[in-house]
């Protein structure tokens, strides 16, 4: 039996499923917000470009002696570098960054700080030995190492496991004692 995806109807069905996923992606709020942000950002960029070209360039030109910043160029070793447009772009970038920081980032950060709940301090108790504040759930004081609560069952089992000799240790010791006795060195 042929694979249904290779049949013409299967291809269209699979493409229809992919388009459904695309519709879900497009209709998500984040994509729409991003699109609005890009459009407004482009419009804002045009406004800043106009401010740089129509207001700041004449002011800088009056100070620098040139009437048009975009025609500013530097000649090095017989090669002319037109840097006026670069200067315009840098001024636009700095202005956009300043406006975004002071109009968007700073107020949003202040607003978020205002509504952010204060962190709740962890509950503490006093150590009976050294009277330091320690976490409520502590079983041992981190300052003086006083035992406050008995160890958990898992820790107690691990301690017993480590403290108890293993069967291999007992067998090794018994073999050494037997070997000593057979050689006549019973240690008495």
Answer yes or no: do 106 and 133 share one domain. Answer: no
Answer yes or no: do 28 and 62 share one domain. Answer: yes
pLDDT of residue 9: 54
Model pLDDT for residues 123-161, shown as the tens digit of each residue = 888 888 888 888 888 878 888 888 877 777 887 777 777
Q: Is residue 135 part of a domain?
A: yes
Which residues partner with 81 through β-bridges? 74
Answer yes or no: do 25 and 98 share one domain. Answer: yes
Q: Is residue 172 part of a domain?
A: no
Q: Report in angstroms the alpha-carbon separations of 131 from 17, 123, 139.
A: 66, 15, 15
Q: Is residue 85 part of a domain?
A: no
Q: Determine the angle formed by the axes of helices 84-99 and 29-51, rounding to 10 degrees.
A: 130
Q: Are 131 and 142 in contact (CB under 8 A)?
A: no
Answer yes or no: do 72 and 136 share one domain. Answer: no
Answer yes or no: do 64 and 22 share one domain. Answer: yes
Sort strands 124-126 and 73-76 into parallel, antiparallel or unpaired: unpaired
Element (H, E) at 79: strand 79-82
- Residue range 36-58: mean pLDDT, rounded: 82
pLDDT of residue 7: 53
Q: Residue 151: which domain range? A: 119-165
Model pLDDT for residues 166-179, shown as the tens digit of each residue = 777 777 788 888 88
Residue 85 pLDDT exceeds 80: yes
- Residue range 67-96: mean pLDDT, rounded: 83
pLDDT of residue 117: 82
Count of domains in the chain?
2
Which domain CATH number covers 66? 1.10.1200
- Residue range 16-39: mean pLDDT, rounded: 75
Listed residue (76, 72, 65) closest to 91, CA to CA: 72
Answer yes or no: do 61 and 16 share one domain. Answer: yes
Listed residue (146, 109, 152) closest to 129, CA to CA: 146
Where residue 79 falls among pLDDT bands split at 50, 70, 90? very high
Q: What is the pTM of this model?
A: 0.42
More confident residue, 36 or 188: 36
Residue 116, phi-psi category: left (phi > 0), alpha (psi -120 to 50), beta (remainder): beta
Mean pLDDT of the chain: 78
Where residue 118 falls among pLDDT bands split at 50, 70, 90? confident
More confident residue, 33 or 188: 33
Answer yes or no: do 70 and 146 share one domain. Answer: no
Answer yes or no: do 103 and 158 share one domain. Answer: no
6: tokens are: 């290779």
């Amino acid at each position: 039996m042929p694979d249904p995806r290779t049949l013409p109807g299967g291809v269209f069905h699979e493409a229809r499923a992919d388009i459904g996923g695309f519709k879900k992606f497009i209709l998500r709020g984040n994509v729409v917000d991003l699109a609005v942000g890009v459009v407004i950002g482009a419009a804002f960029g045009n406004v800043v470009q106009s401010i740089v070209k129509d207001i700041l360039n004449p002011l800088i030109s009056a100070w620098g002696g040139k009437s048009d910043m975009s025609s500013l160029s530097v000649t090095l070793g017989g090669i002319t570098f037109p840097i006026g447009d670069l200067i315009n772009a840098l001024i636009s970038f700095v202005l956009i960054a300043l406006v975004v920081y002071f109009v968007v980032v700073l107020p949003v950060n202040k607003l978020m700080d205002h509504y952010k709940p204060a962190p709740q301090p962890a509950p503490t108790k006093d150590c009976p030995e050294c009277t330091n504040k320690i976490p409520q759930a502590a079983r041992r004081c981190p300052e003086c190492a006083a035992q406050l609560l008995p160890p958990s069952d898992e820790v107690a089992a691990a301690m017993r496991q480590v403290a108890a000799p293993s069967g291999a240790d007992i067998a090794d010791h018994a073999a050494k004692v037997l070997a000593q006795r057979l050689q006549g060195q019973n240690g008495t």
